[in-house]
Amino acid sequence: MKNEATVGGQVVCGQPTPDEYRRLADQGYTDVINFRMAEEYETPEPPALPAGVKYHHIPFTGASLSREHVAKTRAVLSGSEGKVLIH
C-alpha cells in the first residue's frame, strides 16, 4: 500500500485502492480505521470490504483532534481480533 509503515505495531498507510481493500482479510486484517475527513472523498460511501473486516470512520484534522478521537481509536485497537489498518 502507498506509504505503508508499521508504527507501534500498527500498519499505517495512504488511501488504499479498491483492490488493496479486497485483499485485507487474506492478509489478516479485521479492522480499518479511516481518519480522513468526508470532504476529501468524491463519494462519501464506505469502501467495499471483505466479510469479516470492519470499517471505522474517525475523521479529524490537526486542529480538530480531541480526546474523543483518541478514545475511539484505542477502543478499536484494543477490541480488534486481528490486524488493524489505519489510514
Residues 59-77: tens digit of each pLDDT: 999 999 999 999 999 999 9
- Where in the sequence is the domain holding 30, given as residue range(s)? 5-9+16-82
Position 38 in a domain? yes
Q: Please check whether residue 87 lies inside any domain of the structure.
A: no
Alpha carbons 17 and 7: distance in angstroms, whole number: 21
Q: What are the residues whose beta carbons fall under 8 Å from the beta carbon of 20, sequence distance 6 or more?
A: 1
Q: Per residue in 24-63, pLDDT tens?
A: 999 999 999 999 998 887 776 778 899 999 999 999 999 9
Q: Whole-angstrom Cα distance, residue 14 to residue 12?
A: 7
| Domain containing residue 40: CATH number | 3.90.190.10
